[in-house]
């Protein structure tokens, strides 16, 4: 069970949506840093501002923290930060082939959908985009961890239901690993978020990293 109420989610979005939307539009124009290629299998962290580490240093972003954790536990992977602030599932679909072009990519952490929600993109369209991303990853033999988001009741009951069902439905359909809520334990906690109330601060990123790692670990191999 997710330990967060729809009432609190509603408050979160009411306070933060407009500010986040404006910030994301501005940030999306910034290019992604090119990773240093190493002779190790790759994990591509594919997402938006929550992946890119909006408002934080590179060393505070979850892909960086995940790399440190993998190294400490003896896993021989290189984590690639393929997050772009402001990105939507449509934007992700347009760049997924480039992100997976390296044959050494073995795992895709797919964390998109929050900006679709802010733009009220129809859940059916979002689902179609995510499904295509998943299919392209699986066609290359890449394992997928799908990270879900939740819509607040302010979006309307029907939209909320359809949006929230997209992620578990895709996980079931394509038989992929699934994390129900990317911000579990972080959302609405002032001590774990930046001033905008949406993006995790450095401490919040540590919590998010631990949550992701817990769902990622079954996909990992030691070699």
Q: Is the pLDDT of residue 86 over 90?
A: yes
Catalytic residue among 48, 49, 61, 99: 49
- Euclidean distance between CA atoms 43 and 104, whole angstroms: 9
Q: For this structure, is 85 an active site residue? A: no
What pLDDT is stored for residue 209 in this prediction?
A: 98
- Euclidean distance between CA atoms 70 and 106, whole angstroms: 14
Catalytic residue among 71, 103, 172, 196: 196
More reliable by pLDDT, 123 or 10 = 123
| Percent of the chain whose pLDDT exceeds 90 | 82
Q: Is the pLDDT of residue 212 over 70?
A: yes
- Euclidean distance between CA atoms 67 and 78, whole angstroms: 7
Which residue shows structure tokens 């962290």? 45
The predicted-structure confidence for 91-140, as pLDDT tens digits, reads as follows: 999 999 999 999 999 999 999 999 999 999 999 999 999 999 999 999 99
Q: Which residues pair with 124 in a beta bridge?
A: none
Give the lowest-confidence range in 17-21, 45-49, 74-78, 189-193: 17-21
| Contact call for residues 203 and 100 (beta carbons, < 8 A) | no
Q: Is the pLDDT of residue 22 over 60?
A: no
What pLDDT is stored for residue 38 in this prediction?
A: 62
**Per CATH, the architecture of 6-31+42-217 is what?**
3-Layer(aba) Sandwich (3.40)
Which residue shows structure tokens 């609190």? 8
Name the average pLDDT for the chain: 88
Of 111, 79, 82, nearest to 98 by C-alpha is 82
Per-domain residue ranges for the chain? 6-31+42-217
Read off the pTM.
Answer: 0.87
Q: For this structure, is 215 an active site residue? A: no
Please give the average per-residue pLDDT across 20-39, as a whole number: 47
């Amino acid at each position: 069970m997710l330990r967060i109420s729809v009432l609190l989610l509603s408050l979160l979005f009411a306070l933060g949506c407009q500010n986040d939307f404006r910030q994301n539009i501005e940030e999306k124009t910034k290019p992604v840093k090119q990773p240093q290629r190493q002779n190790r299998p790759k994990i591509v962290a594919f997402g938006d501002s929550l992946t890119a580490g909006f408002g934080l240093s590179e060393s505070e972003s979850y892909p960086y923290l995940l790399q440190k954790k993998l190294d400490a536990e003896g896993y021989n992977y290189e984590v690639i930060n393929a997050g772009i602030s402001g990105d939507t599932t449509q934007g992700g679909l347009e760049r997924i082939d480039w992100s997976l072009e390296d044959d050494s990519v073995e795992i895709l952490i797919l964390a998109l959908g929050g900006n679709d929600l802010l733009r009220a993109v129809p859940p059916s369209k979002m689902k179609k985009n995510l499904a295509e991303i998943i299919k392209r990853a699986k066609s290359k033999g890449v394992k997928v961890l799908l990270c879900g988001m939740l819509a607040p009741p302010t979006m309307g009951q029907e939209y909320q239901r359809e949006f929230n069902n997209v992620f578990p439905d895709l996980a079931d359909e394509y038989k992929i690993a699934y994390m129900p809520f990317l911000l579990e334990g972080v959302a609405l906690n002032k001590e774990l978020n930046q001033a905008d109330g949406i993006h995790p601060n450095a401490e919040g990123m540590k919590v998010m990293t631990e949550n992701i790692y817990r769902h990622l670990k079954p996909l990992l191999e030691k070699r």
